[in-house]
Amino acid sequence: MGKKFFVAGTDTEIGKTTVACGLLAAANQLGLRTLALKPLAAGADNIAGELRNEDALALMDSASVKLAYEQVNPVLFDPPIAPHIAAQQAGKRITVSQLAGYCRGALMTSSDFALVEGAGGWRVPLSGRETLAGLAVELQLPVILVVGMKLGCLNHALLTAEAIQRDGLPLAGWVANTVDPQMACFDDNIATLKHFLPAPCLGVIPRLQDAQGTHVAPHLDLAQLAL
């Protein structure tokens, strides 16, 4: 059924979807059948009377295996806030087992390279008892970590990598995404991450005028994922 990965980030708004679309585009260029899911999202636009999430739509556009929107993004909340708060406001409950069930159903579709993108950082709460990290654990997916390159990213990246490993999952690789193009000592920070993170760097994404997957793909190296 091909290789499957969970895409996590060091924070919210650091380019998980941008990198995921780049990974999908790079895999497409290798002739692989690609599939992507965004099981949980908070933040919706009204498109032709239907609530849709921008990140989920971008993933759908980049994946070569086409699924229905409801398969890609089964749980969507309108306000762009923490998912457990959005769920409380909507009078709904999110559980890891529920999200895992949605993902397993969609992942039964044949593909060579599949990504499940998280929401926010690794420890985003789903409820008073569970976090979204539990979904990656339940699905037993190796993790690709997107590091948002800005001041503070070293601590965020190392703590997230530690948490992933503590949860018993392998860190398959990491991608540096330039959030702050004016970041001081950028190359030194990349070198520090390469030294401390226990996984290969799959690429360094510069600040792009157009961050479509096809423009991100040339900055990524999928060879280290052994596809």
| pLDDT tens, position by position, 48-65 | 989 999 999 999 999 999
Confidence class of residue 106 from pLDDT cuts 50, 70 and 90?
Answer: very high
Residue of 124, 171, 134 whose CA lies nearest to 7: 171
User: So what's the pLDDT on residue 151?
Assistant: 96
- Helix 186-196 to helix 153-166 angle (10° resolution) is 20
Taking the C-alpha atoms of residue 227 and residue 224, their distance in angstroms, rounded to an integer, is: 8
How confident is the model over 161-170, as a mean pLDDT? 98
Mean pLDDT of 34-44: 97
- Non-local CB neighbours of 52 within 8 Å, separated by 6+ positions: 44, 45, 46, 69, 73, 76
What average pLDDT does this structure show over 84-94? 95
* pTM of the predicted protein model: 0.97
Catalytic residues: 38
Q: What's the CATH fold of domain 3-225? A: Rossmann fold (3.40.50)
Q: Is the pLDDT of residue 45 over 90?
A: yes
Instruction: Give the H or E element holding residue 139.
Output: helix 133-139
pLDDT computed for residue 29 by the predictor? 97
Q: How confident is the model at residue 226 (pLDDT cuts 50, 70, 90)?
A: confident
What average pLDDT score do residues 212-216 get?
96
Residue 1 has pLDDT above 70, yes or no: no
Q: How far apart are CA 126 and CA 69, in angstroms?
A: 22
State the pLDDT at residue 227: 79
- Taking residues 60-76, what's their average pLDDT? 98
Percent of the chain with pLDDT over 70: 100
Nearest Cα to 220, choosing from 206, 194, 210, 36? Answer: 206
Range 25-29 average pLDDT: 98
Cα–Cα dist 220/26, whole Å:
7
Q: Confidence class of residue 23 from pLDDT cuts 50, 70 and 90?
A: very high
Percentage of the chain exceeding pLDDT 90: 96
Please state the rounded mean pLDDT for residues 93-100. 97
Mean pLDDT of 78-88: 94
